[in-house]
A and B are shown apart, each in its own frame.
Chain A
Amino acid sequence: MIVFKLWHFALRLLHGKSKRLLTSVLGAVFGVTLVVSMISLYINMNHSMDKQLMEEYGPVDLMVGYRDQEKRFNPDQIEMLRNISGIRAIGSTITNLDLYYHDSRPETARMLFIAVDNSPLTLSHYRIKQPIQPGDAVISASLASRLGVREGQSVKIPLPQQESKSYRIAQIIKDISHEARSEYVYLSISEVNRIYGSEIIANPVLVDLMPGANKEQIIDEIHYLITTDLDIEPMSGLDKQKENIRNLKWLSGLFGGLAFLTAGMFVLSNFLLSIRERYRDLAMLRAIGSSPRQLFFLIWTEAFLIGIISSALGSALGIISSSSLYGVANSWVGLNSYKFIIPWRAIIIATVAGWGYIMTIAAFPAWRASRIPPVVLVREASLNVHVSRRRLFAIPLWVGIPGLLILVFTQLSREGSDSSAYPLLSLTGGLLLVFGLFLGIGSWMSAISRLLEPVVKALISTSAAVSVRNIRSERRQSVVTVAVLAMAPLLFFSISVFLGSLQSGITDNLKKSFITDWRITHALGPGSDMRKEIGGKVENLQAADKVIPVSYVEIARLKDFDFTHADSAWSSAGRKEDPLYSLPQRELFSYKLVNLQDLVDLGKLPAAAGDMSSQIYISKTYAERLGIQAGERLTVTRNNRSTVLTVAAVVDQLPLIPDDSPNFVLGDWKQTVLIQPNDDQKGLTLESLMVHAKPGQSAALGEQLKAQFSANSFLRVSDLNSELKDLKRSMLQRIVLLYAVTAVVWVIGLLGGMTTLSANLLAKKREYAILRAISITPRQLTLIVLTQCILFCVISFTFGAGGGLMLSYSFTSALDANYTVNLTEILWMVLGAAVCFSITLLQPWLFSRGLGKESVTRALVNE
């Protein structure tokens, strides 16, 4: 009951400290805002991604089939596929019906026939609402328009090698692409088999994987168990989107976490200051009959009230800020913006959690308040905390953190950067390092302040050196001050350096991919009908000198390869003696195919002797991993065809291939392993068309290309400069979004910094009064106070920037990107931090001026 009676009392006390209440609420509001907006943003973006992925790809993770062949699945193969672990569902389809029933009539030329098994997976993949009944058909909008038919009406549809048949149109779906064949007709498999009197089971089969299943492993298993003839489309666009969202999860989790931590530190420092300010009041309450429990609940009641106000306000602001950031964030990861959903359940949980968090954080200051001995009121005495217990508590941390770090780094070196666990391990390692760094602030700070003492004496004055000693003597308070002040530079540096590295990596890759002046790509990616749309129009352009088609083939395999070269453990660790040790069995790699001679002519590849069609170029990293030398002959197999290829050269960096694509080789388009003998390059999927201009005609070529393809919105003509500009623009969006988050953390950090600096100065108020009494001038006092605060800022900045660099390194490692630190950017960041910290110094400066104006007697009495 007494706890409830304290409500009124706590309210009155809060009312009496309205400025402190305001800063407490502000800090907590910002913290909750950030957490709620991160959650809300994440939920909405996740929802957008799910929706968009469903629209673009459906739920299909793999498409397994015989590409451009008349083969089809048999029931045993379907059953085998169904039983592979990691596969959640499969759906049978028959696409390209005209592959089995050739038809060259003009009315079917633009039509694509697809038969579906009416399984939920197939229906959702093709966005068909209801199972297709016999006699029903689903058609695309362009076909509906040509046939002049609407949903529910019947129309005669021409079928390959068949007379036109009448079907009721069950649904008209949106056109998928601007391809040559964009008139889609969907029928049920049973209907197709009835018409043709055949029993085609499926080709291809759609596969939905279980969450977390290893796609590469499953592809490998399908090839191994069923047949290596199978073409498997890994839906890499989907993977890219999923990776985007995974990165987003990390980032929002990290920002949310950091915001949570900063807000927590802020609330903690604010409550500690609040207790420091009311030390005598609290001691008096003890003296007049308050029990420790009552004091604890008094402070906790304050936290309860602050928590309620802050959580409610923070949640509201969080929803507002996330809804306004939603569009920017979606465009950042390339998602469409759907209607913003307010995730009430998550927000309520976050609000309650935020409130609970504030209560939890405030428990420590409340506990400290409850331990204030009443004798403090009549005698100057410091709060006696059980130091031994604290040290005992610290032991597991001191042993645990380095132990965990050793464990993580050992695992990291064992796993290697190809492992799926590498990003998580790398991130954990970075976070542990930063945690360890912050945990050791007390010890580091003492060492740094000892180093700074003579510098301060020499540069400022001997009296200013008092400030350095103050930092050491109020160790606990100083640790909180540094930790709070360091959070903002930590976040600022980690984000800036991480984005800088990311941008630099993308820029490098872009530069590598531009081996010519201009490039043409298709908005729908390599799988599109780009070749048909470009036709032979580029070669005829006046300013074009050389046209290099770049083709892309998913996967090929090394055959009869001696893996003892590739496994360093085999020879170095004496594994060959171990009968149970198994060497890797398969090596899959991806190709990019070009006319190699063109690249040699452009000086992008070293020349090689002999027939180019039987040569490949390998990057140094990949060659080292497999233990391959230049001149070595490799047997490569794909779709049951094998060929022997010679490694023409091992190069530091393969043109056209990004740094983060380790399993790529560059081959010649005439390789017989990839295309049938006597076939031509047109059988290959075109990824891009690189166009080299005649000398001095680059700009003219650009204009000619743009004029030629301006009507086709799917084709993109770009040069390196325009790509770099686009990259900068998209990076700017990310930077704006991330800096908005960082700015909020800065605000919390600044408020927290002001509060903790004030607490620190308040703890020394009596000493300052004594210094005044022994004739230190107000100016000297200001100098001491400001020196102390500047030292805090310098130490905090060192910790924040150091931690930020560590964290950004772990992010870039996790994403397997190159770590780049741009010194100019760092300089700007230092300047920015200096400006922000200068704002933090405002309050201490005013405080010191106030101290200087106050009479010595009053200062001593008012302590």
Chain B
Amino acid sequence: MEALLEVQGLCKTFKQGEMTFHALKNVNLKVNKGEFVVVMGPSGSGKSTFLHVLGGLEPLTSGKIMIERQEIKDFHEEPHATRYRREKIGFVFQFFNLLASLTAVENISLPLVLAGRSEVEANREAACLLELVGLRGFERRRPAELSGGQQQRVALARGLVHRPQLLLADEPTGSLDSKTSEDVLRVIVQMKKTLNQSIIMVTHDPMVATYGDRIVFFRDGSIVGEMDGSGSEDRRDRSLVIYDRLHSLNEDKTA
């Protein structure tokens, strides 16, 4: 398969006064086009930092990030950071972060408007995406008039409307109940298939992780293991395997 993202020797350190904290240590990862990679790990393992660095929200300390074999240089500095996020990256957050005063369509069309597309064109694209996430007829609803799952679907559509090469999802089901989470994850998988979308998703939940093609385990800022997401057809069984793996990683750490 063709590689979309290649991360080589990625390091990220935070300095606070005299203290230096190594959040990411020599991380290497390859994500293929259309692949759905789930990042798991205990709290403080560096998985969210990894996502932020990939999204250009945080500058990296050292290492290389390549998209389609082209190194993305200075992508965390303006104006490169904006262009990078605008063209290559889509975000979905745990707390949907929709603008309360805008309708569903307007929220979705925002990245296109910000990129300079006409409002009519942006709204047309947004309406298509809204249909894809199963919210046809909800165009004029404001976030307050939508359920949590619907809001997250709108957020997902907003993350994909500009056709990013990579969708970064940070605990997208973290604030949803299990039924709604399942709906949202199904939509994500469907989008992945429909749009051949590459996705990196951070989660704590082994059940959520079962939707990924591949699961990457982080600990103390490094990738300490990987496992194939596919396997047993029963999602429950798979989640138990993931849970065991996660548990064993934690035990290794405490040992």
Contact = CB atoms under 8 A, between A and B. Distances in A.
Interface of A: 1-2, 5, 8-9, 12-13, 15-17, 280-281, 284-292, 294, 373-375, 377-379, 861
A292 B79 CA distance: 9
Contacts of B102: 12, 16
24 contacts: A9-B110, A12-B101, A16-B99, A281-B97, A284-B93, A284-B97, A286-B82, A287-B55, A287-B57, A288-B85, A288-B91, A288-B111, A288-B159, A289-B85, A289-B111, A289-B115, A291-B79, A374-B57, A375-B52, A375-B57, A378-B48, A378-B93, A379-B52, A861-B175
Nearest to B79: A291
A280 B101 contact: no
B67 interface: no
B114 interface: yes
Contacts of B18: none
A8 B93 CA distance: 26
Contacts of B170: 378
A118 to B, nearest CB: 73
Interface in B56-88: 57-58, 78-79, 82, 85-86
Contact of A8 (B90, B91, B115, B119): B119
Interface string B116-136: 100100000000000000000
A16 B100 contact: yes
A206 B90 CA distance: 84
Contacts of B187: none
B214 interface: no
Given A12-B101, A17-B101, A377-B97, A292 B57 contact: no
**Interface bin, chain B:** 20 to 34
Closest 6 pairs between A and B when the two form their complex, measured CB to CB:
A16-B101, A289-B86, A291-B82, A375-B57, A284-B97, A290-B114
A291 B48 CA distance: 23
Contacts of B93: 284, 377-378
Given A292-B78, A373-B57, A374-B57, A5 B99 contact: no
A378 B92 CA distance: 11
B95 interface: yes
B35 interface: no
B114 A294 contact: yes
B92 to A, nearest CB: 10
B219 interface: no
Q: Among the interface residues A8, A16, A280, A288, which one has the most CB atoms of the partner chain B within 10 A?
A: A288
Nearest to B57: A375
Contacts of A5: 113, 116, 119
Contacts of B175: 861
A847 B79 CA distance: 40
Nearest to A375: B57
Contacts of B115: 289
A280 B106 CA distance: 18
Nearest to B87: A289
Contacts of B119: 5, 8
Nearest to A282: B99
Given A375-B57, A378-B170, A9 B52 contact: no
B43 to A, nearest CB: 13
A13 B57 contact: no
Contacts of A285: 110, 114
B114 A288 contact: yes
B57 A289 contact: no
Q: Among the interface residues B97, B102, B159, which one has the most CB atoms of the partner chain A within 10 A?
A: B97
B101 A15 contact: yes
B230 to A, nearest CB: 29
B238 interface: no
Contacts of A374: 57, 85
Given A13-B101, A289-B86, A861-B95, 6 more contacts: A13-B99, A281-B99, A285-B110, A287-B85, A374-B85, A378-B170
B161 to A, nearest CB: 9
Nearest to A18: B101
Contacts of B97: 280-281, 284, 377
A192 B97 CA distance: 94
Contacts of B162: 289
A287 B82 contact: no
Contact of A288 (B100, B101, B116, B158): B158
B114 A378 contact: no
A27 B99 CA distance: 26
Q: Among the interface residues B115, B159, B162, which one has the most CB atoms of the partner chain A within 10 A?
A: B115
A288 B97 CA distance: 11
Nearest to B90: A288
A288 B110 contact: yes
A125 B158 CA distance: 79
Contacts of A377: 57, 93, 97
A9 B102 CA distance: 9
A294 B115 CA distance: 10
Nearest to A376: B57
